[in-house]
Structure 1
Amino acid sequence: MAHKPKFTRETPDIRRQALINATRRCMARDGVEGASVRRICDEAGVSQGLLRHHFGGKDNLMAETYRAMVSELGSATRNLIGRDGLGPEERLSQAIDVTLRPPLAAPDRRRVQLAFWDLVPRNPAIAAMHKKLYGDYRKDIAGVIAEVARADGVAVDAKALARALTALLDGLWLQMCLEPKLFSARAAHRECLSLLGRSLPSYADI
């Protein structure tokens, strides 16, 4: 017997979040093509009309789901690079490490991230969101790189180094998705610090 959505009186924010969470679960399990409106709504326990009411359609829901995922990354990074009581080199190291371990690097989340990366060249809304959110993320990373450089007494192009670091992180993340045994989180973290060590003495001996 087909599953019938259970209708409950919940706030709009709760329903929106339920749909976003359901989208992530469906994408992790079924991929982009398998995450149909019907499956998402069944997973969330709501009607298709509620999806249209809260998001206007699947494209907007997908974009908001991607926003939520990248915002989690940005929040975790900002929380670590803004911590009191640690030097900038340790804050940057921890900000890198958190992206390589669960929950941000949990297998289900990695599968969903891969699916969204596939959508970026094909979906203008997601492409625009990716550019904005990843731009903010790189800006945060560049800021703490500049702090490390000042503490080390060296001059670096913090923006360029942040681009290189985030590109390496994305590549390592991809390898961890495709071949989980190739790179451990610790090994991936060490590769990132090795890259930084070419420009920043704080990481030169790592």
Structure 2
Amino acid sequence: MPTQTAPRSQRYAPPEVRRQQLIEATLDALAQKGVSGTTMAEVTRRAGLSMGIVSLHFQSKDNLLTATLRSLAEEIRDAWAHSHKDSTLSPAKRLSSVVAASFDASTSSPTKMRAWFAFFGEARYRQIYRDMVTDFDEERIDAIETLCAQIIHEGGYKDICPKTLAATVECLCDGLWLSMILYPDWMTPAVAKCRVMDVLARHFPMHFQLSGAQTGAGTQAEGAT
């Protein structure tokens, strides 16, 4: 297929626009072709730009993929961190918002989820994935643990370890993302969020309500306080 010619306004876009355009083209390529099939030539073809442009901004495939992975991680972090820092919200509302960010349409589209798992499944890039994503994951787990501890204190809950529960929520979210890729007809983002919220509701019944998602017909659970 011949390389598409970008519109004049697109060809003369600012550097940050060009970078984002190339990252979006990389996401599309990763989702359809995996890491090994995502070449500089493939990305430029999808972006409708020249090889010189992608080389100017990223120099190499490794740099391009690393920038794409960082963009994905920062997008999710920004999605949950905003609500987490809102002191006007109760701990339950903030925890609900942190969970919701994992299943928001802007961060959990099929293309982005497939791109995540493309990185994770490629042995060559797995260490880059771990090195970059670990800090983001630990920050989110720490935030969830802190909120769980606050809810435990508020509700006087007994025999609940906030650290263990935070790790459970994190692992559950990762597993649900995989289910959303494999079974998109029934594991939708809304149902996936409900699954996590139901776990929280069983631990914190005074703060969250069961959604009914275990039957596949529930609505999204919200913090009650």
Name the TM-score class by shorter chain.
0.7 to 0.9
1:114 aligns with 2:114: no
Deviation string 1:125-149 (CA, Å, 9 cap, x unpaired) is: 2221021222222222223222222
| CA contact 1:175–1:182 (8 Å) conserved in 2 | no
User: Which moves more between the two structures, 99-108 or 154-163?
Assistant: 154-163
What is residue 219 of structure 2 aligned with on the other side? none
1:39 pairs, out of 39, 42, 49, with 42
Between the aligned residues of both structures, percent identity stands at: 28
Deviation string 1:92-123 (CA, Å, 9 cap, x unpaired) is: 1232123224122222222222212213x432
What is residue 185 of structure 2 aligned with on the other side? 181
Give the unaligned 5+ runs of structure 2.
211-225
What is residue 66 of structure 1 aligned with on the other side? 69
Q: How far off its partner does 1:19 sit?
A: 1.4
2:23 pairs, out of 17, 20, 29, with 20
> Would the alpha carbon gap of residues 15 and 69 (structure 1) be closer, same or farther in structure 2, given more than 3 Å must change?
same
> Would the alpha carbon gap of residues 4 and 23 (structure 1) be closer, same or farther in structure 2, given more than 3 Å must change?
same
User: Which moves more between the two structures, 148-157 or 122-131?
Assistant: 148-157
> Would the alpha carbon gap of residues 40 and 147 (structure 1) be closer, same or farther in structure 2, given more than 3 Å must change?
same
| CA contact 1:193–1:203 (8 Å) conserved in 2 | no
Deviation string 1:57-97 (CA, Å, 9 cap, x unpaired) is: 11121111011111111111112223354321122123212
Q: How many equivalent pairs are there?
A: 205
> Would the alpha carbon gap of residues 204 and 50 (structure 1) be closer, same or farther in structure 2, given more than 3 Å must change?
closer
Give the unaligned 5+ runs of structure 1.
none
What is residue 79 of structure 1 aligned with on the other side? 82
What is residue 98 of structure 1 aligned with on the other side? 101
Classify the secondary structure of the residue corresponding to 1:144: helix
Opposite residue 106 of structure 2, the aligned amino acid is: P
| CA contact 1:142–1:162 (8 Å) conserved in 2 | yes
Q: Distance in 1 between matches of 2:169 and 2:124?
A: 25
Q: Distance in 2 between matches of 1:125 and 1:55?
A: 16
Q: How far off its partner does 1:39 sit?
A: 1.0
1:144 pairs, out of 137, 143, 147, with 147
Q: Distance in 2 between matches of 1:158 and 1:52?
A: 46
Classify the secondary structure of the residue corresponding to 1:122: helix
1:153 aligns with 2:156: yes
